[in-house]
A and B are shown apart, each in its own frame.
Chain A
Amino acid sequence: MLKSIRMEDLKKLTDEQVVDYVRTKDQESYLEIVLRYQDKLMRYANSLTRDEQKSADIVQNSFIKAFVNLNSFNTKMKFSSWIYRIVHNEAMNEFVKHKNEIPMLEDMDFASSEDVAADFDKKETQERVRKCLSEIPLLYSEPLSLFFLEEKSYEEISDILRLPIGTVGTRINRAKILMKKICQTIQN
């Protein structure tokens, strides 16, 4: 009974407060963090690996790493950026291990145009993003999925991918252009 009441109280706390509680009082309250992030991280990992089972492994390993290193997390920072970063790293490690099985980062570059990008309405784009994302090189699809599907801000994406905010903006704009080209080709 006491446990369930406490779990209810935990739900009202912010991520950072829960982390602080886990570190100082009760490690089993980590369950709250796992429940809060399981679906989000699965979706994110899936957008990277496009493999449900591998994504589950990545997310599970990320939760374990996050728990082991929880004392290194600065509660003044955003927990969500921190845990997304761990998933990103785990996915990249997985790519290195299975180079031939999983789509690798491809560095495609082309001219950017802000005007084309402006055509995209966020809600409309979400659905198209899901359909076309798998066709775009990971270099561009990752920031795009974080922006549209995970609804992260440029600053959060910058923290997750450890890229300057300007680079995040450039990649998202290029991803939109690339996606438009690819999606049009698919539709035709």
Chain B
Amino acid sequence: MPNNTKLNIPENIMSWIKKGQVKMKPKWYFVLGSLAMIGGFLGLTIVSIFLVSLITFSLRTHGPMGAIRYEQLLSSFPWWAPIIAIVGLGFGIWMLKKYDFSYKKNFLLIIIGFISAVLLAGLLINYLGIDNVWMKRGPMREFYRQYDGEGMKRGAGWRMMQDDDYNNKDLPLIRRQ
């Protein structure tokens, strides 16, 4: 049996090739695949950078986290952003692993370098104030406004501060003092 199977391999393969049952994929298929992979990787990296900058932007525009501001921050913070950023980074790392160099170099260093570069680029956007420019003009204007200080108006803390009844009330604790 082993000898038969061994002898049949070339015969089987060549008959399938001749009959056209086994076909070679064209070169453009792989070129397109590589381009899609590179495009996907770059896209995920850009989205991750953007989301990191959005997170830092949202934290910055809310100011320091005092007790009252904490609730405001919770209500308007874009929680989907870190989740998508982490998923994006995960996919990016998975894609990096597909490349030949990934096992030839120290892959842990590549991952650390990649994540650091994404975080640094996101923070740099925030530091240079590019996100402020996006908030004031351009297609991202409305989007950014949701997550700046304006966004916190949706929170209960903000509503309390705006409530006239609440503001006009004599606070018993203060009056006693």
| Same complex | yes
Residue pair B5, A53 in contact (C-beta under 8 Å) = yes
Residue pair A27, B24 in contact (C-beta under 8 Å) = yes
CB distance from A138 to the nearest CB of B (A): 18
Contacts of B13 on A, CB cut-off 8 Å? 30-31, 34, 60, 63-64, 67
Point out which of B1, B6, B12 has the most chain A C-beta atoms below 10 A from its C-beta.
Answer: B6
In Å, the complex CA distance between A63 and B22 comes to 11
In Å, the complex CA distance between A107 and B170 comes to 71
Interface of A is mostly: helix
Check: A152 CB closer than 8 A to any chain B CB: no
Residue pair A27, B5 in contact (C-beta under 8 Å) = no
Residue pair A30, B14 in contact (C-beta under 8 Å) = yes
Interface size on B, residues (CB 8 A): 24
Check: A144 CB closer than 8 A to any chain B CB: no
A53-B26 contact given A38-B9, A60-B9, A64-B13, CB 8 Å threshold: no
Interface of B is mostly: helix
Minimal Cβ-Cβ distance residue in B for A165 = B104
Residue pair A30, B2 in contact (C-beta under 8 Å) = no
A31-B14 contact given A68-B24, A71-B25, CB 8 Å threshold: yes
Check: B16 CB closer than 8 A to any chain A CB: yes
Contacts of A63 on B, CB cut-off 8 Å? 9, 13
Contacts of A71 on B, CB cut-off 8 Å? 24-27, 29-30
In Å, the complex CA distance between A70 and B29 comes to 12
Contacts of A70 on B, CB cut-off 8 Å? 24
In Å, the complex CA distance between A27 and B22 comes to 11
Check: B10 CB closer than 8 A to any chain A CB: yes
CB distance from A2 to the nearest CB of B (A): 17
CB distance from B137 to the nearest CB of A (A): 46
Check: B175 CB closer than 8 A to any chain A CB: no
Contacts of A67 on B, CB cut-off 8 Å? 13, 17, 22, 24
Interface string of A64-91 (1 = CB under 8 A from B): 1001111110000000000000000000
Contacts of A23 on B, CB cut-off 8 Å? 24
In Å, the complex CA distance between A18 and B46 comes to 42
CB distance from B95 to the nearest CB of A (A): 15
Check: B169 CB closer than 8 A to any chain A CB: no
A60-B2 contact given A71-B26, A71-B30, CB 8 Å threshold: no
Interface string of B68-106 (1 = CB under 8 A from A): 000000000000000000000000000000000011101
In Å, the complex CA distance between A53 and B13 comes to 16
Contacts of B24 on A, CB cut-off 8 Å? 23, 27, 67-71
Check: B176 CB closer than 8 A to any chain A CB: no
In Å, the complex CA distance between A164 and B107 comes to 9
CB distance from B8 to the nearest CB of A (A): 8
Contacts of A53 on B, CB cut-off 8 Å? 1-2, 5
Residues of B within 8 A of A (CB): 1-2, 5-6, 9-10, 12-14, 16-18, 22-27, 29-30, 102-104, 106
A-B contact pairs, 6 of them (CB 8 A): A30-B17, A42-B6, A60-B9, A72-B25, A162-B103, A163-B103
Residues of A within 8 A of B (CB): 23, 27-28, 30-31, 34-35, 38-39, 42, 52-53, 56, 59-60, 63-64, 67-72, 158, 162-165
Which 10 pairs show the lowest CB-CB distances between chains A and B?
Answer: A56-B5, A52-B2, A72-B30, A71-B27, A162-B103, A34-B10, A60-B9, A63-B13, A31-B14, A70-B24
